[in-house]
Structure formats: C-alpha cells, structure tokens
Homo-oligomer: A and B are copies of this chain.
Amino acid sequence: MKNQSEIAIQDEYADSFAWCYGCGRLNKEGHHFRTMWNGEKTVTLYKPKEAHTAIPGFVYGGLIASFVDCHGTGSASLALHRKNGFEPGSGKEPPRFVTASLHVDYVKPTPQGIALKAIGVIEEIHPKKFKVKTEVYAGDTLCATGEVVAVVMPASFAK
C-alpha cells in the first residue's frame, strides 16, 4: 500500500469516473493530473510536454487552464471527502465533482521545461459546491492564478 500522503484523490475515483482527459487514471492519452493534501492546502504537480507550447519556450495557456480545472475539481473532492470523514487511502470512493466555472489570470509567461505546481485553497460555498483558489508556480515563480467553482456531479452526467 502506498504511503497515504502519496495517494491522490484521482487514484480513488470510481472506475466509471476515471476517464477524464485531464485527471483520469484510465485515459491513456490524458494528462493524469493527481491532486493531494498538503496540510490544509492541496497540491497538484505536472511537467508539461514539449508539445504543450504557446510560443516556443512558454507553456500553452489552455494546458494551464486544464491544470487549474482538474486541480479544482480534485481539491473539492478532497475537501468533501474529508468533511465526510475520509482521507485518500481509506478505500472509500470519493465524491466526483464537475466544473461550473473556471477563471485563469495569466500573471507571467510560464517557462517550459519546469514542473508546474498548483496550490489550492478551498472554500465551501454550499454542501455540494466548493470554490478553489489556485496559484500555479513554475519553480518559485507565480505564473498564473485561478479560481474554479466545482459542484458535485449532477445526475445528468450519469449514462
């Protein structure tokens, strides 16, 4: 068994909800973003691929938006799971969130070739709705800030 702190919330999504291009462990072509607790904050690490460029040398903003998006839904899932009494590694299926809105401010051009770190602060708006404020760093440089409003997956997503 993995050390609990190494277990991401996405590692425990139900198989049927683990196909997301951003963070689904079962999506072979996707990014496989993985989000975990770091104290009271959340963290997601990812090193963009060479193809994920905007202008040569700088990371594509759409990739950063995707990173903020899945970091947000993963953070919301971590928060509600904890509120329900569970941590990643408990073996209990976590709640699955979807994005209601996404906002990203691009503070500085994001250099390529460096792992990105998303740090999230979570606020409960409503028992099924969370706001996640995110800072995206390349090394020590703050490159983007973001905000996701995530809601528990509505029944309309079930097939």
Q: Which residues of A contact B (CB under 8 A)?
A: 16-17, 19-22, 24, 27-30, 49, 51-58, 60-63, 65-67, 69-70, 96, 98-106, 109, 153, 156-157, 159
Contacts and interface: CB of A to CB of B under 8 A. Distances in A.
Contacts of A24: 53
Contacts of A69: 61-62, 65
A21 B60 contact: yes
* Copies of this chain in the oligomer: 2
A148 to B, nearest CB: 9
A96 to B, nearest CB: 8
A112 to B, nearest CB: 11
A29 B51 contact: yes
B106 A103 contact: no
Contacts of A55: 16-17, 19-20, 96, 98, 153, 157, 159
B20 A60 contact: yes
B102 A104 contact: yes
A54 B20 CA distance: 4
B21 A56 contact: no
Nearest to A100: B106
Contacts of A52: 21
Enumerate the 6 nearest inter-chain pairs by beta-carbon distance, A residue then B residue, closest first. Answer: A62-B66, A29-B51, A65-B65, A21-B60, A103-B103, A61-B99
A49 B30 CA distance: 12
30 contacts: A19-B55, A20-B55, A21-B63, A22-B62, A27-B51, A27-B53, A30-B51, A55-B153, A55-B159, A57-B157, A57-B159, A58-B157, A60-B66, A61-B98, A62-B62, A62-B65, A62-B69, A62-B70, A65-B65, A65-B66, A66-B66, A98-B109, A100-B105, A100-B106, A101-B105, A102-B104, A102-B106, A103-B103, A103-B104, A109-B156
